[in-house]
């Protein structure tokens, strides 16, 4: 069968675009590496990228057809206007997407995520399709300013970011428009694939006409191969979190929880945040809301890390903490699980489907720094319990994220949709 994926990542085509082989860069890449081992699938991948024209190419002897589509608008002034007016991707991209479909002639199309413009193809393309549910903009938009009021965050923005269309408010307005596009996808899509009770329930309400299939996601090999070990004899507690620069990710809860921990823990606490740049407006706003200065806080913002760098951060930590106000199945939690770290996470979205409370980690109410600090303290005071829960999480994670089993199951779903079983 010929299957065409629409993704937001070049996946393994990065080696051709940037002359760097990005193996292990994303879970989609991990799945691509496994999927090409199955001889009964011809795979094509369409992805948007900052290029001036659409391109079709292959990479060495790798049996995948790549279709790179420009991100519109192409010129810097067009992109500037798009940012300051919080516009979604221009519809002209749809023609490039349709050209890729016509060139590849797939039997089945799979769209990764519901947030991208290519999801609008579900209303016009009649080829059987499947949407891989990742997050949900409709709910995320509702949770955007849960703990960080929009006016307070806006008043703490840098004037340059406001004038350049890069303020958080601009992103929030853009999300509101993308929500409308997402709803078009839910109205038209006939098949969804997901992995949590949360996404299954959302599909049942937002797309009652659609079928829902359960399938897990593979993890990057660098995490599957490594195992966390305790760091005995250290005179401080090291916590780590991996989040994005969005207000619903709970960075302000991190600052507040850390301050509470410092008042009761005898050893110094260091909380390392991957995914937030040290000079980001999000970090500055989270500190303002929490009445914390950057100079006095033990919270360290590390910016983006590669898979290997993140693995090392997890290995040197004592506890992984996930503070988000909403999430479906965050890869960061799954990565910590397969490595066997003790985990404290908010009990939101699809996370209860990933992690069994008090067996594989501790789940707490989101936006509650007292409960989060208390759960972390519980692990600090009984670290044998923390280690045991981490081991339980690792056993489940390694079984759940086996790439071979996942791709075999995914092929079965393809066949059901195409009535080949």
Closest C-alpha among 239, 228, 249 to residue 398: 228
Residues 6+ apart with CB under 8 A from 71: 48, 49, 50, 51, 89, 93
Per-residue model confidence (pLDDT) at position 19: 54
Q: What is the pLDDT of residue 154?
A: 86
Q: Please tell me whether residues 287 and 236 are part of one structural domain.
A: yes
* Residues 90 and 210 occupy one common structural domain: yes
Containing domain of residue 389, as a range?
222-400
Residue 374 CB partners (closer than 8 Å, separation 6+): 364
> Rounded to an integer, what distance in angstroms lies between the CA atom of residue 360 and that of residue 322?
14
Domain tally, the chain: 2
What's the pLDDT at 52? 86
User: 22 and 44: one domain?
Assistant: yes
Per-residue pLDDT at 337: 98
pLDDT by residue for the chain (421 residues), tens only, comes to: 999 999 998 988 887 786 544 433 578 988 999 999 988 899 999 999 988 889 999 988 889 999 999 999 888 999 999 999 999 988 888 999 999 999 999 999 999 999 999 999 999 999 999 999 999 999 999 999 988 888 888 888 889 999 999 999 999 999 999 999 999 999 999 999 999 999 999 999 999 999 999 999 999 888 999 999 998 888 999 999 999 999 999 999 999 999 999 999 999 999 999 999 998 889 988 998 898 887 678 999 999 998 889 999 999 999 999 999 999 999 999 999 999 999 999 999 999 999 999 999 999 999 999 999 999 999 999 999 999 999 999 999 999 999 999 999 999 999 999 986 6
Give the span between the Cα atoms of 179 and 271, in whole angstroms. 33
User: What CATH number has the domain bearing residue 52?
Assistant: 3.40.50.2000
C-alpha span between 324 and 171 (Å, rounded): 18
Q: Residue-wise over 61-72: b if at least 16 C-beta within 10 A, else e?
A: ebebbbbbbbbb
107: Cβ–Cβ under 8 A, 6 or more apart, which residues? Answer: 1, 2, 3, 127, 128, 418
End-to-end CA distance of the chain: 13
Q: Over 139-190, what HEC string results? A: HHHHHCCCCCCHHHHHHCCCHHHHHCCCCHHHHHHHHHHHHHHHHHHHHHCC
pLDDT for 22 equals 42
**234 and 341 share one domain:** yes
pLDDT for 199? 97
Gyration radius of the chain over CA positions: 22
Under a CB-based contact definition with an 8 Å cutoff, are residues 219 and 336 in contact? no
Who's near 325: CB < 8 A, 6+ residues apart?
143, 146, 147, 248, 249, 250, 346, 348, 366, 367
Do residues 47 and 125 both lie within one domain?
yes
Regarding whether 154 and 32 lie in a shared domain, the answer is yes
Predicted TM-score of the model (pTM):
0.94
Residue 421: per-residue pLDDT: 61
Alpha helices in 165-280 (DSSP H): 168-188, 197-206, 221-225, 251-262
240 and 212 assigned to the same domain: no
- The residue to which tokens 């999300």 are assigned: 175
Say whether both 190 and 308 belong to one domain. no
| pLDDT, position 190 | 97
Do 35 and 7 share a structural domain?
A: yes
Alpha-helical regions (H) of 41-167: 76-84, 92-104, 137-143, 150-155, 159-163
Amino acid 89: pLDDT: 87
Give helix 251-262 / helix 281-290 axis angle, nearest 10°: 50
SS3 331: helix
Q: Are residues 229 and 213 in the same domain?
A: no
> Residues 69, 147: one domain?
yes
Q: Give strand pairing partners of 59.
A: 62
Q: Distance between CA 300 and CA 289 in Å, rounded?
A: 17
Q: What gap in Å lies between CA 275 and CA 290, rounded to an integer?
A: 19
Per-residue burial over 160-195, b if 16 or more Cβ lie within 10 Å, else e, is eebeebebbbbbbebbeebbebbeebbebbebbbbb
Both tokens of 126, joined, read: 């009649």
Share of the chain above pLDDT 90, in %: 78
313 and 202 within one domain: no
Please give the structure tokens belonging to residue 47.
């992805």
Q: What are the pLDDT digits (tens) for 169-219?
A: 999 999 999 999 999 999 999 999 999 999 999 999 999 999 999 999 999
Q: Which residues contact 73 (CB under 8 A, 6 or more apart)?
A: 79, 81, 82, 90
**Token pair for 5:** 């994926």
């Amino acid at each position: 069968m010929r299957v065409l994926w629409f993704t937001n990542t070049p996946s393994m085509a990065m080696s051709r675009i940037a002359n760097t082989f990005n193996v292990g860069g994303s879970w989609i890449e991990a799945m691509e590496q496994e999927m090409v081992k199955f001889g009964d699938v011809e795979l094509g991948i369409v992805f948007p990228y900052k290029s001036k024209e659409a391109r079709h190419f292959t990479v060495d002897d790798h049996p995948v057809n790549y279709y790179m589509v420009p991100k519109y608008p192409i010129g810097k002034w067009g992109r500037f206007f798009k940012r300051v007016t919080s516009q979604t991707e221009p519809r002209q991209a749809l023609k490039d997407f349709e050209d890729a479909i016509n060139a590849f002639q797939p039997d089945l199309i799979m769209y990764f995520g519901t947030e991208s413009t290519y999801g609008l193809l579900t209303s016009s393309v009649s080829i059987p399709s499947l949407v891989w549910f990742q997050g949900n903009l409709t709910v995320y938009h509702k949770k955007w300013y849960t703990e960080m009021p929009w006016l307070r965050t806006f008043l703490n923005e840098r004037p340059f970011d406001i004038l350049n269309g890069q303020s958080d408010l601009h992103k929030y307005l853009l999300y509101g428009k993308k929500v409308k596009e997402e709803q078009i996808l839910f109205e038209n899509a006939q098949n969804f694939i997901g992995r949590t009770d949360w996404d299954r329930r959302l599909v049942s309400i937002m797309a009652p006409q659609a079928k829902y299939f359960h399938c897990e996601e593979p993890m990057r090999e660098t995490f599957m191969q490594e195992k966390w070990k305790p760091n005995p004899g250290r005179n401080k507690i090291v916590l780590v979190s991996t989040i994005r620069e969005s207000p619903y990710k709970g960075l302000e809860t991190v600052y507040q929880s850390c301050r509470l921990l410092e008042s009761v823990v005898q050893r110094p606490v260091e909380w390392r945040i991957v995914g937030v740049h040290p000079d980001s407006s999000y970090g500055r706003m989270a500190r303002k809301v929490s009445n914390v200065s950057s100079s006095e806080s033990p919270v360290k913002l590390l910016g983006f890390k590669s898979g290997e760098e993140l693995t090392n951060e997890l290995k040197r930590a004592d506890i992984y903490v996930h503070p988000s106000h909403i999430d479906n199945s965050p890869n960061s939690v799954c990565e910590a699980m397969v490595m066997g770290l003790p985990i404290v996470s908010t009990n939101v979205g699809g996370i209860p489907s990933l992690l069994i409370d008090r067996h594989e980690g501790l789940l707490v109410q989101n936006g509650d720094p007292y409960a989060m600090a208390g759960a972390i303290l519980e692990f600090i005071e009984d670290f044998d319990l923390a280690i045991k829960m981490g081991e339980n999480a690792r056993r489940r994670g390694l079984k759940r994220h086996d790439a071979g089993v996942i791709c075999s199951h995914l092929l079965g779903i393809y066949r059901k949709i195409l009535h080949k079983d």
